[in-house]
Amino acid sequence: MSVAGLSPNFKVAFDANSQVFSLAGVIRPRSVDEIADSIAMLRQAIDDVRGVLYVDVKRLIQMNNTAFHAFVRVALDACRARADLRMVIVTSSVVGWTTRMFGHLNQIEPQITVEVYDSTFYPGQSFVEDTSFIPILRTQTKMTWRHERSILPRHGLRPGIAMADVCCGIGDFAVLVQKEFQPARIVALDHSKASLAYAREVATNFGITDIEYTYGDASEMLLEDNQFDFVSCRHSLQIFNERELLLKELYRICKPGGRVYITNEKNSHCLGEPRAQSIQWTYNEVAKLFSHFDMDVELGPKSRRYLADAGFDDILVESFMVTNLDGDPQDFADVITAWENVYAGEMAVRRGDTPEFIERFRQGFRDHIFAALHPKGYAGWPIWVASGRKPT
């Protein structure tokens, strides 16, 4: 792969193996001469490829007309000269103007097509974006917040800071943080428009107007470098298949000296008494089921390694157990019921599991609920919290 950087905010690269030419960042040259190297790289890429050249502009944050005309002219000339060449320009649904600008090219040259990268960004997205899941997400946050509100200050959350909550879901964590810690700024980002619409409605109902909810791809955020003192990303690394990419983005937007805070589970460690064996069997199977869909719900204790590999220092790790004794045991039971419905009712079915397996799988959830509601029972859901400091 060859890479050229014109300015700190602009990157151009060509990956010959996958035939992807990518433009990223901000490119606003005064004249074409300033981007001559990048134009030459595109020409070389066109010469090198056979069949389809992918032009990836998903991370292109700004491009002025000078640059647009220059790159497009090369692409159009190449298509006119080579009947065998096809170009696929991949834009992002997040950056609205790219799809509009590049979208015209197919009308000029049919060999160029434009694809909007708007499919699922992570494997489990379709499972958790169902709006029927929203009440359970709220209950989950209520249950974890009892613990996290005292944990967060140890990881750097304090009044007056700038904070981003990446993969904010329905935005309830951001609301709780805003009320409890009064950061100067909160940006809450998610790729579910339905979840964000819900988040905005909840914030409005609570009279909260200073949370900036934004639609975006966590692995390719529009947010600028080194902006936030505190970046949270809760329960998301574990359901993201490109974890290093996500961590790289969290690192990028965090200020030097700021901290990135992640929470994740180790589902096989969910527990309960009585009926411990059945519960344990089911949650071991939960871990395997998620693994089948390229998600790692065993990630919690691996957080330290992930943060270290991403370049963070001063890494702090701790864990807490959400239990049926924290508040209303029915809340705990409701969450497990929702898990049963999604994991056994949808994911196992999609994996093609037999009715016999699914029935045994369901039984463990029911036993977990039994333990939670039993007058002498105990049911737990462990969470790992980790944060790392971006070196100064």
Partner 1 sequence: MDVGNSVPAEAAFEPLLQFEMEMGTFLSEWQHCDHVSTYLARMISHNRTDPVRHSNFFSSALNELLEVSFRGGTSSGQIGLSIYRHGPIERVQITFPCPAEQVPFYREAVQKIDRSDAHARYLDSISTDMAPSRESVLLDLAINFDASIRIEESTSPAVTLIVDLPLEGLVS
3-state SS, residue 314: strand
Give whichever of 211 and 338 is closer to partner 1, judged by the CB atom: 211
With H, G, I as helix, E, B as strand and everything else as coil, classify residue 226.
coil
Which residues from 8-37 bind partner 1, rule CB under 8 A? 26, 28, 30-32
Token look-up 């290093």 returns 244
3-class DSSP assignment, residue 251: helix
Name which of 107 and 354 has its Cβ closer to partner 1. 107
Q: How crowded is the C-beta side of 217, counted as CA atoms within 13 Å?
A: 21
Stretch of residues binding partner 1 (CB under 8 A), selected from 49-57, 90-98, 243-251, 298-306: 90-98
Among 12, 61, 239, 247, binds partner 1 (CB under 8 A): 61
In the complex, what is the shortest distance from the CB of residue 148 to partner 1, in angstroms, rounded to a whole number?
A: 25
How many other CB atoms sit within 10 Å of the CB of residue 232? Answer: 28
Site for partner 1 in 187-226 (CB under 8 A): 187, 189, 196, 200, 209, 212-216, 222-223
DSSP state of 377: -
Q: What is the C-alpha to C-alpha distance for residues 177 and 183, in angstroms, rounded to an integer?
A: 8
Q: Which is nearer to partner 1, 70 or 175 (CB)?
A: 70
CA distance 29 to 234: 39
Q: Which stretch binds partner 1 (CB under 8 A): 41-49, 102-110, 152-160, 381-389?
A: 102-110
Q: Is 95 a residue that touches partner 1 (CB under 8 A)?
A: yes
Q: Which of residues 97, 277, 308, 328 is near partner 1 by CB under 8 A?
A: 97
Give the Cα separation of 336 and 355 in Å (integer): 20
Instruction: Check residue 105 for interaction with partner 1 (CB under 8 A).
Output: yes
User: What gap in Å lies between CA 320 and CA 177, rounded to an integer?
Assistant: 19
CA atoms of 213 and 192, how far apart (whole Å) = 11
Residue with tokens 């029935």: 359
Question: Which of residues 2, 65, 126, 182 is near partner 1 by CB under 8 A?
Answer: 65
- Integer angstrom CA distances of residue 4 from 14, 41, 65, 248, 302: 9, 9, 21, 19, 34
- Rounded to whole angstroms, the Cα distance separating 336 from 365 reads 6
Binding mask 145-184 for partner 1 (x = CB under 8 A): ----------------------------------------
Amino acid at 115: E
Task: CB nearer to partner 1: give 129 or 334.
Answer: 129
CB of 3 to partner 1, least distance (A): 22
One residue of 13, 23, 53, 72 binding partner 1 per CB under 8 A: 72
> Tokens representing 75?
């692409």
- Interface mask (CB under 8 A) for partner 1, residues 243-282, using x and -? ----------------------------------------
Distance CA 246, CA 241 (A): 9
Q: Which is nearer to partner 1, 46 or 385 (CB)?
A: 46
- Over the window 106 to 125, marking each residue x when it contacts partner 1 by CB under 8 A and - when it does not, the resulting string is -xx-----------------
How many Å from the N-terminal Cα to the C-terminal Cα in the chain? 29
Establish if 94 lies at the interface with partner 1 (CB under 8 A): yes
Task: Tell me: does residue 96 bind partner 1 (CB under 8 A).
Answer: yes
Per CB under 8 A, 227 contacts partner 1: no
From 72-80, 144-152, 326-334, 380-388, span contacting partner 1 (CB under 8 A): 72-80
- In the complex with partner 1, the residue whose CB is nearer, 104 or 154, is 104
266 and 94 Cβ atoms separated by less than 8 Å: no
Q: Using CB under 8 A, which of 76, 116, 162, 373 touches partner 1? A: 76
Kind plus residue range of the DSSP H or E element containing 322: strand 313-323
Residues in a beta bridge with 163: 186, 230
- Orientation angle between helical segments 172-181 and 134-151, nearest 10 degrees: 30
Binding site for partner 1 (CB under 8 A): 26, 28, 30-32, 61-62, 64-66, 68-70, 72-73, 76, 94-97, 100-101, 104-105, 107-108, 187, 189, 196, 200, 209, 212-216, 222-223
